[in-house]
Structure 1
């Protein structure tokens, strides 16, 4: 495993970490037995950073991570959660006081202080509201939070977050189908010593290479019900890429795979080629999925001709669909 510093927290976290959205909900049926086995296996493989949110299964994902802590006493790992999406209506003003959501996450995670709280894709107006970040500073002083950061949809939101000195991390969609953050944001975050968490690193599973035109998703899976942004931002599902066009790009990508390297491992190793990225946070619902994800850290650096071919594929097939939107 590779470990990288997360902002100015003093933590060194696993460059392949664990995204716990899929074990909470909106990814079809969940299996707690398999999920807890996957969490244990992640620890066994050197993962020490887990990312969740209070809305993943209405707190279910947080409670699974609390169970992991109970079952692995003395094991050192960090849990990041998120707050804000439970606001109804989901408006910028609601982010002035997240204390009720913090208290709920503290209970779900069975802890006295949240390791890292992230604003959960708030409206853009929040980044022009210093009182929101002042309130987070208060929660740190009170011992409710150890650190805080943000999860964003857009590059401009990510750049605005860097201006707040308490922000330790920015979580952003960054993968082979969403390459724009590398242009300006990643260098800016590195200069500011702010950690970067690459979410949706496999583009909702599209970059696993396992989907076809015949693949079917259950009614409670966002990959079925949110393709056009019906429930939340369209970019959260397949990175905003049209499903059919995504499949066509994957077929071309298949021809670029080095011998013995799966598409998922290549996609994750590509993210780690960017030194400003602290960690990629793929989901893993089974120990086998965790193994494939974590093994990406064992791959050698991708050669320059392959990196150029991957950039060319993005420019031709994907950028016209998504590059200007987020």
Structure 2
């Protein structure tokens, strides 16, 4: 396993880490603590030491499983959770310091931990990034020993740029993949200048970049890849990175043709992300332990050549950029 510095936190984290949106079951399936335990322990056994979760994942069950892992292992496992999405309606005015404090304390209780390594605002409305009192409450929580660091999970590049103006923001989590390539233009540079860690989510565009989907692939009614393709429930960009499904399938075939003789596309897509030095870690999900091993293969692949990087960019510029580049 290779490790990278997580910005000003100073933590050394596995460059391939784990996101837990669907841990314990595929999207739409009931949560299974037994399956979650298998996945989480497989990750720790493989050297993954950074686990990203959220209070809304499976209504808190994901946090419980992550806390159980941390308490059961002897090696350091760093926990990142998120708060804010429980607010209903999820609007800027609903964000209040007292509510956020309560969310953090609830997460500590669910995980049965004394302190959280990283708490991230969970994709709040853009207006929240202009309210200093929201960020100040996390300074108080840090002084009280309840959290170690603050981060933000953002939908838009502009939100990340605004967030890192606050000196207590140590990390930015965002969507970045072969189908979402805007961040390096400015955000990555500014984050590096301010020593802010970059956590990459949705690295495989909700599975599109595995290269295993087709026009005949079906998704369950409770799977966001079925019900959120147009942003019906949350930001459209979280599903297939905001790319129209049919267009994404066509672009995947072009990527395969442009990268002949390569291993499976999923590993190559993860290795592509790791080509950017500003990235601290990438957090692909897993719904079964075998996917952990598959994800980790990316770290062992050789660096992409200049020609391969250009080939990926060409497909993006022609097929994907007009659809997503200036939206997020």
Fold-level match, TM-score > 0.5? Answer: yes
Kindly provide the CA deviation profile for residues 234-261 of structure 1, in whole angstroms up to 9, marking residues without a partner as x. 0000000000110011111112345351
Q: Distance in 1 between matches of 2:291 and 2:22?
A: 12
The answer on whether the counterparts of 1:202 and 1:282 sit within 8 Å (CA) in structure 2 is yes
The offset of 1:36, in angstroms, is: 1.8
The answer on whether the counterparts of 2:24 and 2:35 sit within 8 Å (CA) in structure 1 is no
Structure 2 gaps of 5+ residues are none
SS at match of 2:312: helix
The offset of 1:31, in angstroms, is: 4.1
Match of 1:58 in 2: 59
Deviating runs (4+, > 6 A) in structure 1?
none
SS at match of 2:8: coil
Q: Distance in 2 between matches of 1:25 and 1:90?
A: 26
SS at match of 1:13: strand
Q: Distance in 2 between matches of 1:25 and 1:165?
A: 37
Match of 2:12 in 1: 12
The offset of 1:140, in angstroms, is: 0.7
Query: Mapping of 1:1-326 within 5 angstroms?
Result: 1-23=1-23, 27-29=27-29, 30-72=31-73, 74-97=74-97, 98-257=100-259, 259=261, 261-326=263-328
Deviation larger for 88-97 or 219-228: 88-97
Structural RMSD (CA) = 1.3
The answer on whether the counterparts of 1:96 and 1:135 sit within 8 Å (CA) in structure 2 is no
The answer on whether the counterparts of 1:24 and 1:56 sit within 8 Å (CA) in structure 2 is no
The answer on whether the counterparts of 1:25 and 1:56 sit within 8 Å (CA) in structure 2 is no
TM value normalised by structure 1: 0.97
Q: Distance in 2 between matches of 1:24 and 1:149?
A: 25
Q: Distance in 2 between matches of 1:67 and 1:276?
A: 31
The answer on whether the counterparts of 1:26 and 1:220 sit within 8 Å (CA) in structure 2 is no
Kindly provide the CA deviation profile for residues 168-225 of structure 1, in whole angstroms up to 9, marking residues without a partner as x. 0000100000000011111110111000001100111111111111111111111111
The offset of 1:39, in angstroms, is: 1.2
Structure 1 gaps of 5+ residues are none
Kindly provide the CA deviation profile for residues 132-181 of structure 1, in whole angstroms up to 9, marking residues without a partner as x. 11111111111111111100001110000110000000001000000000
Cα distance change on mapping 1:232 and 1:129 into 2, 3 Å:
same
The answer on whether the counterparts of 1:257 and 1:266 sit within 8 Å (CA) in structure 2 is no
Q: Distance in 2 between matches of 1:219 and 1:258?
A: 35
Kindly provide the CA deviation profile for residues 288-310 of structure 1, in whole angstroms up to 9, marking residues without a partner as x. 11111111011111000000000
SS at match of 2:57: coil
The answer on whether the counterparts of 2:25 and 2:36 sit within 8 Å (CA) in structure 1 is no
Number of equivalenced pairs: 325
